[in-house]
A and B are shown apart, each in its own frame.
Chain A
């Protein structure tokens, strides 16, 4: 029998997980990219070369400067440093992600748990509702909602959250529908455990891996669709340094001043790629761990 302490065991489990994760280079790169984005966004005022260029700053002498050592991403039509604005733009993108997924995931997961566990009419009502939401393309719906309300960042976040939950409901529903026949669930029932206990203590922990993989993959998508809304003028309004807005305003000066929208565009791509690589890596990792 092993004589190690629980703490050491835990530590070992983490090290083992990291060992497996490390063997997937794409996932490691993804993790590094995501971490980079987070660090840069959190420490934006310290990292950005020209933090003052973020708001309504104008310097017409320096407008449309091509990429150079001082302005690696060039400057925009108001002479603002694009790199600095991209860095602050990440803050908005990540706020969007946290807000949208922070609302949609718990709500979607809860409904999925209920539908999967109880079945019957609970299932019918919840799942038909998700069908309705799934039938409408997300972007179209978001457009409609933000257009109906006023085009602000907050409203676009609300619209996205309204659209996002049903994916998680579907996912958790199918997961729980198969998990609920596991013997440990029956064992808990035999012991007399309440539904609350079974839902949140037995089933939910076993959904964590699928939820985290899905949420990570989603993060990239939320950024993309959020940027799409801003691009169409339905999200954050200028001069807020939103990546989508920057792509769209830079697009007015294509192709001569290409850097104005290319760099914010690449910045969006970078986060999406990072989240997707990380999500795929997590999936491999967690799949193995459950077995």
Chain B
């Protein structure tokens, strides 16, 4: 497994929960709890899961906005856990944020936004104008946009600028945290097309976070499904969407609104997920999904399931895959 660009090893992040007048620490939120993930060169890996499952926290640790509590990050074969926030590493990993409305400074022009990474990474200022033009060209915006301010741009155009900004330092990996969730489908399609084209041209890898599972199906090579800070299931897009194994993945897929009968047929027929994600400050014992799982049985309360390798590419963290446990089990809930 040396060909991987990025390897996360048991990556964890705990946030203190503070309360009261003196901001006393009364507990911890295990926002990310032992995540193992690899991204190959030129690969697009998706992270799905409900709100609060820890997707953004993973992303923010990778780009150095947060420091991991535990675990290691290996980049290109080298342990970079200690240098996540350093300039040298930032040059190789960039991020595009969710909200086109706030990811550009309303008081600064497009050119200003693009100059930040150029200046920081010591690109000679004589070449900036040229670089800015070629960056804008790369994201299919006219060069005149350099002088514009964010409020003059549409959502899709802002997101293109944000992509150009990420590309400015010629990174190898870009973290895309819900890059199109604020955009219309017709605009989303164009932005996704652009991201795919850039990936092919520059051999970039993406970590792609999204709530839109249909989009994830199409855009990602491999997908991880997170639940309460842990990966529940991981596999290729086909593995996950054609043969979902974890009850959580199945529940997620069952709730996607789709636009044709053909797609309807692809959705698992299982019962819909009930209730809401528990607080990460108070994770259920055993399997953390058991409180919402239609198949939960006694063992799920006591033992935390480990990953079961279902194939070379596909793994799921569920006791149902353990013949010893699942065979004898009686569902506790009807």
Residues of A within 8 A of B (CB): 1-3, 5-6, 9, 13, 182-184, 186-194, 197, 201-202, 205-206, 208, 289-290
Question: Which chain A residues lie closer than 8 Å to B113 at the CB level?
Answer: 184
Interface code B91-110, partner A: CB below 8 Å = 1, 0 otherwise?
10011011100111111100
A188–B103 Cα gap in the complex (Å)? 9
| B108 & A6 in contact (Cβ 8 Å cutoff) | no
| A192 & B165 in contact (Cβ 8 Å cutoff) | no
| A184 & B65 in contact (Cβ 8 Å cutoff) | no
B93 to chain A, nearest CB (A): 8
| A184 & B63 in contact (Cβ 8 Å cutoff) | no
| B117 & A184 in contact (Cβ 8 Å cutoff) | no
| A190 & B95 in contact (Cβ 8 Å cutoff) | yes
| A184 & B120 in contact (Cβ 8 Å cutoff) | no
A113–B20 Cα gap in the complex (Å)? 26
| A190 & B94 in contact (Cβ 8 Å cutoff) | yes
| B102 & A192 in contact (Cβ 8 Å cutoff) | no
B332 within 8 A of A: no
Question: Which chain B residues lie closer than 8 Å to A192 at the CB level?
Answer: 87, 90-91, 117, 120-121, 169
| A194 & B120 in contact (Cβ 8 Å cutoff) | yes
Report the stretch among B141-149, B196-204, B235-243, B284-292 that lies at the interface.
B141-149
A184 to chain B, nearest CB (A): 4
Question: Which chain A residues lie closer than 8 Å to B148 at the CB level?
Answer: 6, 9
A192–B92 Cα gap in the complex (Å)? 11
Q: List 6 A-B contacts (CB under 8 A).
A: A6-B148, A186-B97, A187-B97, A188-B116, A189-B65, A289-B151
B54 within 8 A of A: no
A191–B92 Cα gap in the complex (Å)? 10
| Selected contact of A202 from candidates B87, B105, B147, CB within 8 Å | B105
A189–B87 Cα gap in the complex (Å)? 10
- Main DSSP-derived SS at the A contact region: helix
A174–B116 Cα gap in the complex (Å)? 25
| B65 & A183 in contact (Cβ 8 Å cutoff) | no
**Known: A191-B117, A192-B87, A205-B108. Contact between A1 and B142, CB under 8 A?**
yes
| B103 & A187 in contact (Cβ 8 Å cutoff) | yes
| B107 & A205 in contact (Cβ 8 Å cutoff) | yes
| Selected contact of B63 from candidates A6, A13, A183, A190, CB within 8 Å | A190
- Give residues of chain B (60-83) contacting chain A, Cβ–Cβ below 8 Å: 63-65
A6–B90 Cα gap in the complex (Å)? 32
| A205 & B105 in contact (Cβ 8 Å cutoff) | yes
| A206 & B152 in contact (Cβ 8 Å cutoff) | no
Question: Which chain A residues lie closer than 8 Å to B142 at the CB level?
Answer: 1
| B98 & A183 in contact (Cβ 8 Å cutoff) | yes
| A193 & B105 in contact (Cβ 8 Å cutoff) | no
**Known: A6-B144, A183-B99. Contact between A193 and B120, CB under 8 A?**
yes
B125 to chain A, nearest CB (A): 15
Contacts A187-B104, A192-B87, A192-B120 known; list 17 others, CB within 8 Å. Answer: A1-B142, A6-B144, A9-B148, A182-B102, A182-B105, A183-B99, A184-B103, A184-B113, A187-B95, A191-B90, A191-B169, A197-B116, A197-B120, A201-B112, A206-B105, A206-B107, A208-B107
B320 within 8 A of A: no
- Give residues of chain B (139-182) contacting chain A, Cβ–Cβ below 8 Å: 142, 144, 147-149, 151-152, 162, 165, 168-169
| Selected contact of A184 from candidates B102, B151, B152, B169, CB within 8 Å | B102
B85 to chain A, nearest CB (A): 9
**Known: A191-B165, A193-B120. Contact between A184 and B90, CB under 8 A?**
no
Question: Which chain A residues lie closer than 8 Å to B116 at the CB level?
Answer: 188, 191, 193, 197, 201
A290 to chain B, nearest CB (A): 6
Considering the complex of A and B, which 5 residue pairs feature the smallest CB-CB distances, nearest first? A6-B147, A205-B107, A191-B117, A183-B103, A183-B97
Question: Which chain A residues lie closer than 8 Å to B108 at the CB level?
Answer: 201-202, 205
Question: Which chain B residues lie closer than 8 Å to A202 at the CB level?
Answer: 105, 108
B126 to chain A, nearest CB (A): 20
| B91 & A187 in contact (Cβ 8 Å cutoff) | no
| Selected contact of B152 from candidates A9, A190, A289, CB within 8 Å | A9
**Known: A191-B116, A192-B91. Contact between A184 and B147, CB under 8 A?**
no
- Give residues of chain B (236-260) contacting chain A, Cβ–Cβ below 8 Å: none
Question: Which chain B residues lie closer than 8 Å to A201 at the CB level?
Answer: 108, 112, 116
Which of A1, A191, A208, A289 has its CB near the most chain B CB atoms (within 10 A)?
A: A191
